[in-house]
Amino acid sequence: MTPLAALPSPTTAVWQLGPVPLRAYALCIVAGIVVACLVTEYRLRRRGVAPGAVLDIAVWAVPTGIIGARIYHVITSPEKYFGTGGDPWKAFAIWEGGLGIWGAVAGGAVGAWIAARQLGIPLTVVADALAPGLPLAQAVGRLGNWFNNELYGGRTSLPWGLEIHRMDPDNPGHALRDDANQPILEPGLYHPTFAYEALWNLGVAGLVFAVDRRFKLGRGRAFALYVMGYTAGRFWIELMRSDEANRILGVRLNVWTAGLVFVGALIYFLRVRGPRQFLIPIEAPAPAVAATGADVSQVDLSRTGKGSPAAVAPVGYQVVDEEQFTTYRETGVRPDEPGADDVPATGDGVAEPAPDDAARTSVTTDRPADAADPSAATTDPSVATGDVPTAGGDGPAATGDRPTVGGDGSAATGDRPTVGGDGSAATGDRSGAGSGPAGAGGRGDRPTDRDS
């Protein structure tokens, strides 16, 4: 086998930027996270989530995901850290490699759940938005294994066989060199199983994109499809790997895990039903947009136009279906609110109040009460209550703080002096004018107008 028929491997996985080491594995992980965030942000916004929400989710999901991934790796490979000759402190050396995807998904799910609750977003909406971005992130992250010369398979004579360097245990991230300062290679060529997994993950991402677009998966089913696709590939790729691993009944632990997780995801995918979920912000302005005529799930309707007010983060979200979401984006009316066509209007275009409201209104709040209607006058002695002065004698009842007609036709406004039936004025907030010989005192803090 000539060198031209083999895939080379890097001899260096870490570079120095002054005192700061730049590790290829960490850079690949960060790049994968960025890819996942970009895809998730795009898909969340098309479902109605406010711009930038993915950053709030990532603040929780990324750290908990990395912690979970490392914990899973250490638990399933304890000999390297706690066995004979192991170094327990190496368990914290994430930059040297060793992250388990199952722990990453579990830990990341916990962080995403915390963030989703704070934002008022259902976790299934977040999971479905993340579904195609996660395998893309995994594909990018697998390049870190290439730099570390790790996670390869058995020997092969195929043209894409991989050269593997012996890494220097005293100088992590660098290949061991001979006396001529040449990197030392392991004998033979090996299956680049990390590359197989990266390519498989790209296919899974494409599958999720296509199926989700065609069938509009919702309620976590897009994420379940990703899990099924990934575990199906991990099952056979894991069988090709030659690195040390814990085994159950002679089979690698991750093979068992992949099979069990696949079955669980399949059951969820088949049992859960329901349309794709969309979100409408609560207590946040959303300008109406023109109908696009396209699939709303493929159109970013969350952008604000030029000259529009700055986006306001909503306090929560209301879950709606696609039809309700489209109507809201086109009209700005939420499903539980009446539209413009639901309110009757007069000939001049002004909406009329409902019949019940009109019946409760005796006069408008912009004009004094009309005393020409004798049907509204009170003939029995009465006392005004509340903040509304009342008319006595032949005066009609007034509403609000508007002028009130007394027994002799004079007007009183608000808390100003009120005229009684004998034409005298009462002053102060606690005095009232008598009407006729008897007169009547005011009660409370409000002026009172009464005829005896």
Return binding residues: 142
Helices (runs of H) and strands (runs of E) counted in the chain: 12, 12
User: Which among 236, 160, 171, 128 is positioned nearest to 1, based on CA atoms?
Assistant: 160
How far is 332 from 312, CA to CA, in rounded Å? 15
* DSSP-derived secondary structure letter, 429: S
The string over 218-240, giving b where at least 16 C-beta atoms fall within 10 Å of a residue's C-beta and e elsewhere, is bbbbbbbbbbbbbbbbbbebbee
Is 116:319 a contact under the CB 8 Å cutoff? no
Q: What is the DSSP string of 379-419?
A: -S-----TT-----TTPBP--TTS-EE-TTS-EE-TTS-EE
Residue 264 phi/psi, 5° resolution? -60, -45
How far is 224 from 149, CA to CA, in rounded Å? 32
How far is 50 from 367, CA to CA, in rounded Å? 45
How far is 368 from 56, CA to CA, in rounded Å? 56
* DSSP-derived secondary structure letter, 171: S
433: which strand partners? Answer: 449
How large is the C-alpha radius of gyration of the chain?
37
User: Which among 331, 279, 226 is positioned nearest to 51, based on CA atoms?
Assistant: 279
Is 44:200 a contact under the CB 8 Å cutoff? no
* DSSP-derived secondary structure letter, 374: G
The string over 416-430, giving b where at least 16 C-beta atoms fall within 10 Å of a residue's C-beta and e elsewhere, is ebbbbbeeeebeeee
